[in-house]
Structure 1
Amino acid sequence: KFFQSEGLDICETLLDIAREKNPEINFYLGDMLDFDLAKNFDIITCLFSSIGYMKTSDLMKSAIKNMVKHLNPNGFLVIEPWLTPEVWKENTAHAFFIDEPELKIARINTSFTRNKISVFDLHYLIGTPEKTEHFVEHHELGLFTEEEMTAILEEFNLNVTFDEEGISSRGVYITQLSA
């Protein structure tokens, strides 16, 4: 094996799922703002737009600083960002549906913007032959331009490349810590 992986998440439930699927990997409960693993890494990834939960420049800087603290010299930090203000569509409705014989799911949300923060509630309606359930996930994610993100990353001695396509068409920042 040419590499060793470790994982970090703020949610114990998701860590339990990850541990069950990947028992050979060490997983840690922590927040990107203040985790301290007392070790450094060649590559750190922050994917699936989780960086977007850093809603302000100060929070974003704190998270980046903390991740950089865990990089080896010349190490890489790879970040999949949340949507930019230019791409975010406020005051719109979105829906996703699953229609299987024994399972029906509808996820519907509307979106708005408050102080450079994207705000949306995902309403889930799940139906099975036994019951129908409804629950809501509330999300608030910071809206940063590519220029703002690049400036923040460069503040921490990172050489920044932005791949516009990225992993899921939101782009990806591929950065390397200057030696």
Structure 2
Amino acid sequence: MPGTTDTTDTTDITDITDITLIYRRADVYHDFYRGRGKDYRAEAAAVRELVAQRAAGGPAAGSLLDVACGTGAHLAELTGSFADAVGVDLSAEMLEVAARGNPGVPLIQGDMRDFRLGRTFSAVTCMFSSVGYLATAEDLDAAVRNLADHLAPGGVIVVEPWWFPEDFLPGWVGADVVRADGRTIARVSHTVREGRCSRMEVHYTVAAPETGVEHFTDTHVMTLFEQAEYETAFRRAGLEPEYVRHELFGPGLFVATRPGGAA
């Protein structure tokens, strides 16, 4: 149903229980990244431009699928450029927040490796390095193949990867304090390398007049795939990828098209 979340038969329960804590605290996530100044509007404009440059038949793209849409901030900035749009995310809590900012947009709970919508789209996006949570090259292959299966001939796919091993900075410390709607959120993180993965420990302190102060910790383990592993996954899915460096996206972007479509 438009504007609501549909959780029917799209996700394995073992995957849902493994969702990292901050994605269950979607309200904190949404307020923190907004407050820290993540420029969703500029990022969405960059994605629109990449799609317009590569879409078969010119800049008009009819439909959008945003996978790992989170709280729907990119989706809200992109929907005006497409005749229809759909969001998919693993976290029901993230989709609940996304529904508030995307009225009338269908939002589906599902795993990027195996959700099936039974239709294709002119553009498919997967932003904010969400593919980094995939544990293996086989998982990456499955996810990219599934995204490609939802891409129409002549359509464009845009994926923001996680860092490549040679670009990762071990020991990175992040610290921010933001204020939103009367609430103060402090976030401190420390990231190390463990084999093929980065492991980021994050501490949140959230203070509000009504509820007082709470503290929780979060752990993000993300795979440092090689650039060649991403490119291989795209090619196995029948797509020819282009890696694009962009000032708004630290890890860059992969952009690919499906052959066919209007001349």
Mapping 1:47-66, distance limit 5 Å: 47-66=127-146
Aligned-pair CA distance for 1:120: 1.0
- CA RMSD in angstroms, aligned pairs only: 2.0
Which is worse superposed, 37-46 or 157-166? 157-166
Mapping 1:137-152, distance limit 5 Å: 137-152=218-233
Aligned pair in 2 of structure 1 residues 127, 115: CA closer, same or farther (>3 Å)? same
Establish whether residue 162 from structure 1 lines up as the match of residue 252 from structure 2.
no
Q: What's 2:205 paired with?
A: 125
Mapping 1:78-97, distance limit 5 Å: 78-97=158-177
Amino acid at match of 2:122: D
* Counterparts of 1:28 and 1:127, CA distance in 2: 31
Higher helix share: 2
Structure 1 stretches lacking a partner, 5+ long? none
Higher strand share: 1
**Deviation string, structure 1 residues 115-147 (Cα, Å, up to 9, x no partner):** 211111211112345522101121111112223
Between the aligned residues of both structures, percent identity stands at 29
Structure 2 stretches lacking a partner, 5+ long? 1-79
* Counterparts of 2:184 and 2:90, CA distance in 1: 30
Aligned-pair CA distance for 1:12: 0.8
* Counterparts of 1:153 and 1:7, CA distance in 2: 21
Which is worse superposed, 103-112 or 76-85? 103-112
Establish whether residue 177 from structure 1 lines up as the match of residue 238 from structure 2.
no
Amino acid at match of 2:245: E
Aligned-pair CA distance for 1:31: 0.6
* Counterparts of 1:73 and 1:166, CA distance in 2: 29
Q: 1:109 aligns with which of 168, 171, 189?
A: 189
Structure 2 contact 191–200 (Cα < 8 Å) conserved: yes
Q: What's 1:69 paired with?
A: 149
Which is worse superposed, 121-130 or 133-142? 121-130
Report how many residues are paired: 178
* Structure 2 SS opposite 1:164: strand
* Counterparts of 1:164 and 1:54, CA distance in 2: 22
